[in-house]
Structure 1
Amino acid sequence: MQPKKKAILLALCISILLMLAKFVAYFITQSNAILTDAAESIVNVLASGFAFYSIYLTTMPKDENHPYGHGKVEFFSAFLEGTLITIAGLIIIFKSGYDLIYPKQITNLFEGAAIIGVTGFVNMIVGYYLINAGKKHRSITLEADGKHLLTDAVTSAGLVVGVILIKLTEIYWLDGVISILLGIYIIYNGYKLTRRSVGGLMDESNIDLVKDIIAILQHNRKDPWIDVHNLRAQQYGADLHIDCHFTLPYYFDLNQVHYEISAIDKLINGEAHHKTELFIHADPCLPACCNYCKMKECHVRQEPFRAEIEWTIENATKNQKHFDQ
């Protein structure tokens, strides 16, 4: 089975088992705080189910209707997961507020805390596993699901401490207060996940990623590569699409231009951490480029080389040759 599918299927099966365990803990305690954790587990199951479907789509090859592949669905999956987390947090807060006004009896807290503690520990292990798998296979869906499970593990840990505190102090209204605090924490994490996914869906620039690409080009710069500008990057799941303009000597024939562009393609795919598809537009050099062009034996040079203009995110992403700046 494909590694990403295997990872998310494992997370889905474990989420179902943990959800059942948490509801058992709620039924034996009637604790609103434990119900909070159990309700979030429903979100875990729904999110993991959709994540599995989105990863199934991302493994499909490109087709006529999806020439860039199906990777964008991973951002939608993360958006859905963040939305579900936020909704769960809101429901938890409203339910806890109601129970503060109309409290109910709580029993078997130690037993319930033990069950929640075990489920939290399992979620922590699975969460780290998914995050590492997501980074390895460049899957925002796996990372999102892993971070969600880590959030669940943190709330479970806080819940165990709170339940033990309630049992020791016999201050039972703390049950509702703890639930509200956990609900706020859940909403915050849902917002962060949703914000990242919306950025991906809107093709928000990944500044760190663009900086890495520019640094690779600058470090391996060749004399015919006079300048690069209008560099843009879009991420589709694990794949990265880059388009840019490269200024080359105007007297190069098509074979030489193709050779230089192929060298750039091999460089990016050999050193970058993403599988990258490049669309490079070749621009001819102009006399104003001569002062920063390093071509040693140029028969059309009109002024001597003075200094190299270092490629940075400030100049490589602008849609103009460097001498226009």
Structure 2
Amino acid sequence: MTSNKRAILISLCTSILLMGAKFIAFFITNSNAILTDAAESIVNVLASGFAFYSIYLATLPKDENHPYGHGKVEFFSAFVEGVLIGIAGVVILIKSIYSLFYGNVVSDLYDGAMIITLTGLANLVVGLYLIRTGKQNKSLTLEADGKHLLTDAVSSAGLVIGILIIQLTQIYWLDSVISILLGIYIIFHGYKLTRKSVGGLMDESNLELVEEVVEILQDNRQAPWIDVHNLRAQQYGADLHIDCHVTLPYYFDLNAVHHEISSIDKMINQAVSRQTELFIHADPCLPACCNYCKVENCPVRAEAFRAEIKWSMENVTKNQKHFEQ
């Protein structure tokens, strides 16, 4: 079993156990705030189950129908998890607002607080484990599930504090107020997760990855790499796909062009510490490139070298050679 599957299986089993514990706490106390936490646990179980299936799909090899692999299912998994979190938050708000106006009898809050404290600590530990494993293996699904559990742990901490305040002050309508605040927090977290997953499904460029690749190219640039432009980076699960245009001396033969492109491919794969697939289009140089071309003893130079154009996010991502700016 891979580390990703092991991590998400631990998350699924933990979520089932903690869901049961939280509903026991609700039946003991009849607290809306605790019901809020228990309802989110249902989402945790559903999300972890779907995430487990998504990770299974993401590990399948490329085939004729999926030439880029199955990694994008992780974005869909994160989208489903974000939507489920948002729905849970809306249901929590409706129930809490109703109870705020019509009242709700609670009891045995100390016992409920103890159970919620233990479940919050468990979610904190498992959540940090999932995030660490997800970052190591470049898995958006694991990171999303881990952040979800951390959100649950934070809401549990706020819930415990609120329960203790209610017990000490005997102001029981605070139970619904705390539940409303937690519901808003849960909806906001669901929105952020959904927004990120939609960006991936819509092939939104990962700007952090693009910036990292641009820095690698700039720090390791070679004289024959006259120009780089139209660079884009997309993530498919754990795999990274990059395409760009590289301007090379027009008199290079096919072997020389292949050598330079292979050098770029090897350099980026070694530097970004993840499986990277590159599609590099080779452009021939033009006389207007000469003023920033550093190729020594060029047999066709039309203009003397004046200054190097530093590659940055602003110029490398544009679909035009630098002299056209």
Structure-2-length-normalised TM-score: 0.99
The alpha carbon displacement at 1:101 in A equals 2.1
Q: Could you tell me how far apart the structure 1 residues matched to 2:99 and 2:38 are?
A: 16
Instruction: Give the structure 1 partner of residue 86 of structure 2.
Output: 86
**Helix, strand or coil for the counterpart of 2:78?**
helix
Question: Aligned partners of 1:41, 1:300: CA distance in 2, in Å?
Answer: 69
The residue type paired with residue 41 of structure 1 is S
- CA displacement, residues 185-236 of structure 1 (integer Å, 9 cap, x when unaligned): 1011111111111111111122121011011001000010000011111110
SS in 2 for 1:222: coil
Q: What SS does structure 1 have at the residue aligned with 2:133?
A: helix
Separation (CA, whole Å) in 2 of partners of 1:274 and 1:203: 19
* Distance in 1 separating the partners of 2:178 and 2:288: 67
Write the letter of the residue equivalent to 2:106: I
**Is the partner of 1:277 in helix, strand or coil?**
strand
Using the TM superposition, name which of 97-106 and 270-279 deviates more.
97-106
Task: Identify unmatched segments of 5+ residues in structure 2.
Answer: none
Residue identity in the other structure for 1:271: A
Matches of 1:42 and 1:152, distance apart in 2: 12
Give yes or no for the alignment of 1:130 onto 2:130.
yes
Q: What does the per-residue CA deviation read over 1:31-89, in whole Å, with 9 as the maximum and x for residues that have no partner?
A: 11101000000000000000001000000000000000011111111111111001100
Alignment of 1:125-274 (within 5 A): 125-274=125-274
User: Quick one: percent identity of the two aligned structures?
Assistant: 73
Does residue 14 of the first structure (1) align with residue 14 of the second (2)? yes
Q: Secondary structure at the match of 1:240?
A: strand
Aligned equivalents of 1:146, 1:273: Cα separation in 2: 22
Amino acid at match of 1:71: G
Using the alignment, how far apart are the partners of 1:292 and 1:306 within structure 2?
Answer: 6
Structure 1 residue aligned with 2:296: 296
Shift, 1:147, TM fit: 0.5
- Secondary structure class of the residue paired with 1:160: helix
The aligned residue for residue 56 of structure 1 is: 56
Moved over 3 A (4+): none
- 2:110 aligns with 110
Alignment of 1:60-79 (within 5 A): 60-79=60-79
SS, match of residue 37 in structure 1: helix
Structure 1 unaligned spans of 5+: none
1:96 Cα deviation (Å)? 0.7
**One-letter identity of the residue aligned with 2:133:** A
AA of the residue aligned to 1:26? F
CA distance in 1, matches of 2:98, 2:292: 70
**Residue of structure 2 equivalent to 1:285:** 285
TM-score, normalised via structure 1 length: 0.99
Letter in 2 for 1:287: P
Number of equivalent positions: 325
User: Secondary structure of 2:228's partner?
Assistant: strand
CA distance in 2, matches of 1:178, 1:303: 71
Q: Aligned AA for 1:157?
A: A
Letter in 1 for 2:318: K
The secondary structure found in structure 2 opposite 1:235 is: strand
Spell out, residue by residue over 1:84-136, the C-alpha distance to the aligned partner (whole angstroms, 9 max, x if none).
Answer: 00110010010011111222321111001100000001101111111111111
Q: Aligned Cα RMSD in Å? A: 0.7
Q: Please tell me the residue identity of whatever aligns with 1:83.
A: V
Report the Cα distance in structure 2 between the residues aligned to 1:173 and 1:295, rounded to whole angstroms: 76
The answer as to 2:309 corresponding to 1:309 is yes
